[in-house]
Structure 1
Amino acid sequence: MKYPILTQCPVCNHPLHAIKLACGHCRTTIENHFELSKLALLSPEQLHFVITFLLNRGNIKEVEKELGISYPTVRGKLNDIITALGYDTRKKPEIDEKKVISMLERGEITADEAVKMLKQD
């Protein structure tokens, strides 16, 4: 019987690390400190949601229908998964390039400050 890989220690809840890989065919083993995929960090429920989302090609309406959940719930689950994968879900403010250029022309900001403002992602 195959078991899903554990990513958290069941005793102290700290991250586990893969240190040994083995071939089931020729019995070759490789030992090292291996990095797990970020997807391995998702719970089974989150992974099911990701698969459903991908199979529906990101169509939120179809995901709503298939899982029987609302649009806000789909968005909430997506945000939870994005966070679980280690990314920031906060919406980044849009930069008004014309406003930055106007501020620069009026001498309200320096060229360096304008460049920094325009480079914000």
Structure 2
Amino acid sequence: MVEKNTYFIGVGRRKTAVATVKLMSGNGVIVIDGKPIEERFTRIQERNVILNPMMVTDTMGKFNAVIKVLGGGVTGQSGAIAHGIARALEKTDEKLRATLKSNGLLTRDDRTKERKKPGLKRARKAPQYTKR
């Protein structure tokens, strides 16, 4: 296991959100931007996304996490936090890498918003066509 005073840092990214995760041995308390996870993410789907790396590796309740997240919306932030937790868990024990990798938790999801093109209203939406 991990010593009491050591912690592991993982940086996760998703869309425009960036999360810095500090994992330390503890009893499973997760604090995001100074608030508990239940208060910060009220929807169960986001909480499941965040806790997925710990569920997959059977480390629920073994680590406390202090998380700072910047940018993006709720979905991007939850994905960034999950990515950061997965990276930090990998640093705690190298044996967890195979499990995390096989579940796709170490791969950065590079899908971002497509840029607006000139002559179009949005990325792909064209102005309405008029025949005459």
Could you tell me the TM-score, scaled by structure 1's length?
Answer: 0.28
Relative contact order (alpha carbons < 8 A, sep ≥ 6): 1 or 2 greater?
A: 2
The structure richer in helix per residue is 1
The structure richer in strand per residue is 2
